[in-house]
């Protein structure tokens, strides 16, 4: 083997047990990276790592709740212990949160979504950047959403957190531009993941809203989104940092 887009690189993927995170972990491994698969779902992370190993790749799994600083620090340390360095990180962990109009949401529902999606992103960046700055090289891809650039009815906390990710991404890119670390975000459109399917099943209105964002007549696949993250992790994107890339067939209609 050899010659893959990220051949020989050491990578970390949060939210790696399912959806976009899982597809990204598999894509990175396919293209030659050694991958640490991290997720709150330890069994799911182990299953993805096993699938990579069965395809003759190299992977480890670790349980991590990105809302907990100690677990995020341990996750990054596990990557460094396993691979000796950290070249790429894709921060895909996130939750949709409780749907509903803002005036009906409980403060605890707001706080839970922000804790995972935004504070969790900050914590991942904090420890990943420390590792990459020390080696003066690295690439980070934060998974935002189409809801990071548009208002999203009934998903206010989710939309706010995904908008916030773009601010973190641009700030981190500027702060680390002279230290060899690139930081970008991808903004997937409506993608066929368990999380989105759960939201669509919650009500006829939710399903109608999501399908209205897909003028192509279909949802995106996690594998299609993973290709964008893969490219941004690779050296082919060596002059790209601070970008918020829409990965969305519907972008032309917005």
Q: Which of 127, 158, 231, 249 is catalytic?
A: 158
Residue 158: active-site member:
yes
Residue 4 — φ and ψ, nearest 5°?
-75, 165
CB-side neighbour CA atoms (13 Å) of 187: 22
Of 113, 126, 24, 30, nearest to 75 by C-alpha is 126
| Alpha-carbon gap, residue 48 to 19, rounded angstroms | 11
- Is residue 127 within 8 A of residue 64, CB to CB? The reply is no
The three-class DSSP label of residue 63 is: strand
Which of the residues are catalytic?
A: 158
């Amino acid at each position: 083997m050899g010659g893959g887009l990220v051949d020989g690189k050491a990578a970390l993927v949060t939210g790696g047990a399912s959806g976009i995170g899982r597809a990204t972990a598999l894509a990175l491994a396919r293209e030659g990276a050694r991958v640490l698969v991290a997720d709150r779902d330890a069994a799911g992370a182990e299953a993805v790592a096993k699938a990579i190993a069965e395809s003759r790749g190299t992977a480890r799994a670790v349980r991590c709740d990105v809302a907990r600083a100690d677990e995020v620090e341990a996750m990054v340390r596990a990557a460094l212990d396993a691979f000796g360095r950290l070249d790429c990180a894709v921060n895909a962990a996130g939750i949709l949160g409780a749907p509903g109009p803002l005036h009906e949401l409980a403060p605890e529902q707001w706080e839970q979504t922000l804790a995972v999606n935004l504070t969790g992103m900050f914590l991942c960046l904090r420890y990943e950047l420390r590792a990459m700055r020390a080696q003066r090289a690295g690439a980070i891809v934060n998974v935002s959403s189409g809801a990071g650039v548009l208002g999203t009815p009934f998903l206010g906390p989710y939309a706010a957190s995904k908008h916030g990710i773009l601010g973190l991404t641009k700030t981190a890119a500027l702060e680390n531009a002279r230290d060899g670390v690139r930081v970008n975000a991808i903004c997937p459109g409506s993608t066929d993941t368990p999380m989105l399917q759960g939201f669509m099943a919650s009500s006829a209105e939710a399903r109608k809203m999501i399908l209205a964002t897909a003028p192509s007549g279909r949802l995106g696949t996690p594998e299609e989104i993973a290709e964008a993250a893969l490219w941004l992790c690779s050296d082919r994107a060596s002059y790209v940092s601070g970008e918020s890339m829409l990965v969305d067939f519907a972008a032309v209609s917005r």
